[in-house]
Chain A
Amino acid sequence: MVDLALRMLLHDRLRFFITVSGVAFAVNLILSQVGLFFGLISNSSVIVRNIPAEIWVTSKNTPNVDFAQAFPEAYVQRVRSIPGVQRADNLIVTFLNIHLPNGATEGTVTYAVEDFQAWNLPWKLESGDIRDLRRGNFMFTDASAVRRIGAFQAGDYREVSGVRMRYAGRSLGATSFTTTPVSFMDYRLAQRMNSNLLEGNTTYILVKAAPGANIQALKAEIQRRLPHNDVYTRNEWAKRSDDYWIKNTGIGLNAYLTVALGILVGVVIVAQTLYTSTMEHIKEFGTVKAIGGSNADIYRLLGRQALVAAVLGFAIGALLTLAMEPGVAAIGLRLILPAPVWFSVALGTVFMCLLSAGVSFRKVANIDPGLVFRS
């Protein structure tokens, strides 16, 4: 079979290159922006999603996991007494200051529980033994903090909020949306270091449900017994934390605008090049009609050209995005692109290119085959 659509495309290689480049650029723009968006947002709730607590109790109207507010730690006893609760523990999240060797001070968002292993905190260690946190003034800080607080390793000392602390090790993957370093220390130590706020107080209660327990019913019962607190399932709480940053920082709007811009660029470039190509080949399309071809034959031809541009453009755009990953990681960011995103962008690219070809469809629908008789 003679593939006239492809041959026409390849006959003018510069135009073909421009078309495919336009699609690839649009795909790369969309994938990188969506990937960065997911990467940033995942930072805001990565800890919530890694703690095996089905239910979180927070103070009233806490906006996100990092901006914790205190409430009496004894409330945990009420939760423990509820049937269906397998385990409930207090969790303190508080800001402390690390004094750096260069004289600067850097904040750290610190997570403190009594039993780190029970709550899978931190879930990945680069060095050290998490049990050391119970032995005194020890802390873990995430390895990603190097960009903010400089090099550190297990055994180093730092002054943290006026207390001389020793690093027991480094965790991996524990991040915050604001890139503030994440640290871990013993629950009672954290209370002492921020005693004005935390003496006798906690900031969260983590709840693990008994096997087979109805999570929604358990949540409702905890809410009934702690009417001055908020109670969330893990997904609700993670989403609340994510939504806070999406709505309050403009990152969501920025992502939407960039995706829209990518689509616009793609549509305009593909539509423009396909339309110009159609106009240049108008006599050929007229010939197709004169020898008995129908509008549908020409639509198929243009549709195939759009499809080829979409498939090649997507492949190149996707490869460019993957090639960006090491560079993005080098500046402390992540591209997170789940399979549904790849699938949606691929489908969207095909749709975008076919939509662009639609402009040319209108033109060829009105071609007069008699034009082939004109010189």
Chain B
Amino acid sequence: MPVLEASDIVKEYQEGRNRTRILHGVSLTVEPGEVVALEGPSGSGKTTLLQILGCILSPTEGRVKVNGEPADLSDASALAELRKRHIGFVFQQFNLFPSLNALENVQYALQVKGHRGRGLKEEARRWIEAMELSDRAHYLPRDLSGGQKQRVAIARAMAGNPAALLADEPTANLDSQVGTQVLQLFRSLATDHGRGVLIVTHDPKVRDIADRVLRIRDGLIHA
């Protein structure tokens, strides 16, 4: 069963009196254990598609399934619930909580996902260790390097064991060497933990770890 499944997705925006179509009937799937790279020039609709697959944005037409569950695209709270249970996000800008240290960033994500008690702290620590950040667990984001921040963001995204991991330009703010290390992490999360990973990127290095590369141009996917 695919962890992410999008069928005939159309997305239009109203701009003044005109309607602009960003996506023209896009379909794609991401299987467990698979890394899919989505490439395309700026304005091609790749981030819009990522948001739709991540249940953040509702499409104008089409259907989305997350881990086999159809997304009720008209119900914001149902979409939030799907995000909470099945999806982890990694952002280009990291978007860590600056007032929380690395470990607490992961803990807080688990709290939002409804985890409580001792297990919460243990799971957070496990992911911090998995990201080789044990010695930085109590550092605030401002005291971490870009690569370390992104690894905290990945630990936060993985906390709660979501079926799908969606990453938006995860290497854009990292130097080449650190970017490669981060991509290897995504690869191992897919291979070792069975997660379905979708990476939206301009970075050609992503091809090295991806099982499939999809190119999106003018709102259409070209394999």
Q: Which residues of A contact B (CB under 8 A)?
A: 1-2, 4, 7-8, 10-11, 283-284, 286-294, 297, 369-370, 372-373, 375
Contacts and interface: CB of A to CB of B under 8 A. Distances in A.
B98 interface: yes
A292 B95 contact: no
A283 B99 contact: no
Most chain A beta-carbon contacts within 10 A, residue among B51, B97, B168: B97
Nearest to A283: B95
A148 B47 CA distance: 81
Given A288-B112, A375-B93, A10 B84 contact: no
23 contacts: A1-B116, A2-B108, A7-B97, A11-B98, A284-B95, A290-B89, A290-B95, A291-B83, A291-B84, A291-B88, A291-B113, A292-B80, A292-B81, A292-B85, A292-B87, A292-B112, A292-B113, A293-B84, A294-B77, A297-B112, A370-B57, A372-B95, A375-B92
A8 B168 CA distance: 26
Nearest to B105: A2
Contact of A287 (B77, B97, B111): B97
A10 B84 CA distance: 27
A289 to B, nearest CB: 7
A288 B110 CA distance: 11
Given A4-B97, A7-B99, A293 B112 contact: yes
Nearest to A293: B112
A144 B66 CA distance: 81
A4 B106 CA distance: 12
B213 interface: no
Contact of B56 (A8, A10, A290, A293): A290
A8 B92 contact: no
Contact of A2 (B57, B107, B113): B107
Given A7-B99, A289-B80, A291-B112, A373 B107 contact: no
Given A11-B98, A283-B95, A284-B97, A291 B89 contact: yes
A188 B60 CA distance: 98
Report the interface size class on chain B: 20 to 34
A375 B80 CA distance: 22
Given A2-B107, A292-B81, A372-B91, A8 B112 contact: no
A2 B56 CA distance: 25
Query: Which 3 residue pairs are nearest across A and B when measured between Cβ atoms?
Result: A292-B84, A11-B99, A7-B99
Nearest to B114: A292
Contacts of A297: 112
B99 A4 contact: yes
A10 B108 CA distance: 17
B63 interface: no
B125 interface: no
A333 to B, nearest CB: 45
A291 B116 CA distance: 16
Contact of A4 (B92, B108, B113, B168): B108
B190 interface: no
B19 to A, nearest CB: 19
Contact of B83 (A2, A8, A292): A292
B100 A7 contact: yes
B32 to A, nearest CB: 20
Contacts of A289: 80
A291 B100 contact: no
Contact of B51 (A1, A4, A7, A373): A373
Interface string B160-175: 0000000010000000
A284 to B, nearest CB: 6
Contacts of A10: 99
Most chain B beta-carbon contacts within 10 A, residue among A288, A290, A372: A290
Contacts of A294: 77, 80
A232 to B, nearest CB: 62
Interface string B41-68: 0000001001100101100000000000
Contacts of B98: 11, 284
Most chain B beta-carbon contacts within 10 A, residue among A4, A286, A290, A292: A292
A146 B57 CA distance: 77
Contacts of B77: 294
B83 A290 contact: yes
Nearest to B82: A292
Most chain B beta-carbon contacts within 10 A, residue among A2, A4, A369, A370: A2
B38 interface: no
A323 B114 CA distance: 46
A132 to B, nearest CB: 72
Nearest to B104: A2
